[in-house]
């Protein structure tokens, strides 16, 4: 076990308030000044009482209140708090789940709240005001035990409701009730007392924390189909069915209104969806507009743990508390099958054919890199690509020549002849020392923009 001497928060009765650490004077009495009482010069020692001595300078406007606060905080500092081995607070600290400052805050604010203290004496001179409080150790122990019994009763009630909720498939409420039970016992996280739960003697706080872990780890998610195949035939769109059940041994229960977090790579960046399961423990999502260039193409579905935490709770505390819980997830691979393409291209630079310097080659490279398959016969294709790119003279000034490039392209369904996607660039400007070079320069400027918009435009056209 570890012994910690903590400054603890004060709840004052009969108009008493919280305190700051006490300050003891070590200044010797000036000659001729009123004799200080013994408790000012030497701290009293008592087997039956906790003692608090506080002093404040009279130059303060709140001298009485400050002296009282210092005395009560000094009293509180005498109360030794034990953080027992195998307690929740000890375990969390050992696992480094709370950083040092957070652990210190929890220990300070959640261990002891005292009441029942009494004023013994006060003393003052021309510059200082002193006050002396004490608290019966027996009375403190009685009040503490009484308060702890109330906390245990509240926690057990929440825990019983949690079990009823999970039996009905309502994990959201079950998690909330167990979390409230754990927070009701916050002042006793450093203890390891046994209580009766379902006919067994168990350490209550640890039992509540273990039940939270059991609730999340018992969630099983499935995705159908297990592999999400997207192709031109289904317009690169597929609905997935997600099922959530709670497994406890051989028994299972559909989970209703379970918050789910769904992500997959989209053409505009990562797509994020928040869904809740229905009355049958199911949710549906549509996968579409997938980023063909994404290195990892998969759908991720996981329990949205943050949505299980009620908004009025101390979210910083609770999030740190639940950070080590198992968060169930499921993944489905996205199998993206790009269509077969047959391309017809007509390109010229000021009326002269363009070969490897044109847009068509860049389009072919871009589509091939993204998985499109080019075929030599029209009858084998799913998409027909028609591309035209031509330059025209723009004029000459000061020895520099200008040319403009106009590009159009369209993708049509081979069977229906309907336009699937079309685009282009008009008036792309190139400037060089002659018209021919200016035309080639305009091709160079147009190619990067066409590469950038081509595949996302095709993928977004299916909706």
Indicate which CATH number applies to the domain containing 287: 2.60.40.1940
The answer to whether 71 and 22 are in contact (CB under 8 A) is yes
For residue 34, the model assigns a pLDDT of 65
pLDDT at 19: 41
The predicted pLDDT at position 113 comes to 61
| Boundary-marking domain end, from 193, 217, 241 | 217
Give the up-direction half-sphere exposure of residue 101: CA atoms within 13 A in the CB hemisphere: 1
Q: Which residues pair with residue 190 across a beta bridge?
A: none
| 243/297 same-domain check | yes
11 with 130, same domain: the answer is: yes
- 250 and 126 together in one domain: no
Assigned domain for 27 exists: yes
Residue 178, domain member (yes or no): yes
Regarding whether 288 and 246 lie in a shared domain, the answer is: yes
Q: Which residues on adjacent β-strands are paired with residue 336? A: 230
| Alpha carbon distance 265, 230 (integer Å) | 13
Domain end among 199, 217, 235? 217
User: Do 23 and 135 share a domain, yes or no?
Assistant: yes
pLDDT per residue as tens, the chain (463 positions): 444 433 344 444 333 434 444 444 444 454 445 688 999 989 998 899 999 999 999 998 999 999 999 998 888 888 866 666 677 776 776 555 554 545 555 544 434 466 789 999 999 998 999 999 999 999 988 988 899 999 999 999 999 999 999 999 999 999 999 999 999 998 888 887 788 888 889 899 999 999 999 999 999 999 999 999 999 999 899 999 999 999 988 889 999 999 999 999 998 899 999 999 999 999 999 999 898 888 899 999 999 999 999 989 988 888 888 888 999 999 999 999 999 999 999 999 999 999 888 999 999 999 999 889 999 999 999 999 999 999 999 999 999 999 999 999 999 999 999 999 999 999 999 999 999 999 999 999 999 999 988 888 888 887 5
**Can you give the length of the chain in residues?**
463
Residues 265 and 346 placed together within one structural domain of the fold: no
Burial class for 130, CB neighbours closer than 10 Å (0-12, 13-18, 19+) = buried
Q: What is the pLDDT of residue 21?
A: 42
β-pair type (383-397, 400-413): antiparallel
In a domain, 421, yes or no: yes
Is residue 383 within 8 Å of residue 340, measured between CB atoms?
yes
Q: How many domains does the chain have?
A: 4
**Residue with structure tokens 């028994």?**
251
Residue 316 in domain: no
Looking at the structure, do residues 135 and 19 belong to the same domain, yes or no? yes
Both tokens of 340, joined, read 């077969």
Beta-carbon neighbour count of residue 323 at 10 Å?
A: 12
- CATH at residue 383: 3.30.160.180
Query: Which two structure tokens, joined as six digits, stand for 182?
Result: 């754990």
Q: Is residue 367 part of a domain?
A: yes
CATH code assigned at 153: 1.20.58
Cα separation of 284 and 277, whole Å?
8
CA–CA dist 454, 382 (Å, integer) = 17
Q: Which residues contact 102 (CB under 8 A, 6 or more apart)?
A: 320
Q: How far apart are CA 3 and CA 79, in angstroms?
A: 11
Phi-psi region of 69 (alpha: psi -120 to 50; beta: other; left: phi over 0): alpha
Containing domain of residue 30, as a range? 2-140
65 within domain boundaries: yes
- Type and span of the H or E element at 412: strand 400-413
Among residues 119, 140, 161, the one where a domain terminates is 140
Bridge partners, residue 413, by sequence:
383
Do 23 and 127 lie in one domain? The reply is yes
Tell me the sheet residues that pair with 121. 132
Task: Report how far apart, in Å, the C-alpha atoms of 382 and of each of 57, 228, 372 are.
Answer: 90, 21, 11
| Residues 25 and 122 grouped into a single domain | yes
**Any domain includes 172:** yes
- pLDDT attached to residue 131: 96
CA nearest to 299, candidates 242, 343, 253? 242
Does a structural domain hold residue 319?
no
Q: Judge if 30 and 133 occupy the same domain.
A: yes
User: What pLDDT is recorded for position 421?
Assistant: 93
- pLDDT for the residue 463: 59
- 87 shares its domain with 146: no
What is the pLDDT, as a whole number, of residue 144? 87
Hey, what are 272's tokens? 């994020």
Residues 33 and 83 in one domain: yes
pLDDT of res. 85: 66
- Cβ atoms of 339 and 294 within 8 Å: the answer is no
pLDDT value of residue 192: 78
């Amino acid at each position: 076990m570890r012994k910690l001497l903590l400054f603890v928060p004060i709840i004052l009765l009969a108009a008493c308030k919280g305190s700051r650490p006490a300050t003891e004077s070590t200044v010797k009495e000036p000659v001729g000044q009123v004799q200080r009482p013994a408790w000012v010069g030497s701290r009293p020692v008592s087997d039956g009482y906790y003692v608090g001595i506080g002093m404040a300078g009279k130059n303060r406007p709140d001298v009485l209140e400050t002296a009282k606060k210092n005395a009560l905080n000094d009293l509180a500092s005498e109360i030794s708090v034990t953080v027992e081995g195998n307690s929740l607070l000890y375990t969390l600290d050992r696992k480094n789940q709370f950083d040092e400052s957070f652990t210190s805050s929890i220990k300070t604010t959640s261990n002891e709240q005292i009441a029942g203290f009494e004023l013994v004496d006060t003393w003052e001179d021309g510059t200082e005001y002193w006050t002396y409080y004490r608290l019966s150790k027996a009375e403190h122990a009685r009040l503490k035990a009484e308060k702890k019994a109330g906390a245990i009763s509240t926690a057990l009630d929440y825990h019983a409701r949690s079990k009823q909720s999970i039996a009905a498939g309502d994990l959201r409420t079950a998690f909330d009730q167990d979390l409230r039970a754990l927070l009701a016992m916050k002042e006793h996280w450093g203890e390891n007392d046994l209580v009766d739960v379902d006919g067994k003697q168990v350490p209550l706080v640890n039992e509540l924390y273990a039940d939270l872990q059991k609730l999340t780890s018992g969630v099983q998610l499935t995705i159908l189909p297990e592999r999400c195949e997207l192709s031109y035939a289904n317009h690169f769109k597929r609905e997935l069915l997600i099922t959530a059940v709670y497994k406890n041994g051989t028994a299972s229960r559909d989970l209703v209104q379970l918050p789910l977090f769904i992500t997959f790579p989209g053409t505009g960046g990562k797509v994020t969806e928040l869904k809740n399961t229905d009355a049958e423990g199911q949710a549906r999502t549509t996968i579409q507009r997938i980023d063909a260039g994404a290195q990892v193409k998969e759908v991720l579905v996981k329990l949205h743990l943050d949505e299980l935490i009620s908004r009025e709770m101390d979210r910083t505390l609770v999030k740190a508390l639940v950070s080590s819980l198992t968060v169930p997830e499921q993944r489905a691979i996205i199998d993206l099958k790009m269509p077969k393409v047959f391309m017809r291209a007509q390109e010229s630079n000021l009326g002269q054919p363009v070969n490897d310097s044109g847009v068509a080659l860049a389009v072919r490279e871009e589509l091939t890199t993204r998985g499109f398959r080019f075929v030599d016969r029209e009858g084998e294709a799913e998409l027909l690509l028609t591309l035209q790119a031509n330059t025209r003279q723009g004029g000459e000034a000061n020895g520099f020549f200008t040319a403009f490039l106009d590009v159009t392209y369209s993708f049509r369904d081979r069977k229906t002849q309907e336009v699937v996607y079309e685009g282009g660039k008009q008036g792309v400007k190139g400037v060089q020392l002659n018209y021919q070079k200016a035309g080639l320069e305009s091709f160079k400027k147009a190619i990067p923009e066409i590469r950038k918009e081509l595949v996302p435009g095709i993928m977004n056209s299916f909706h």
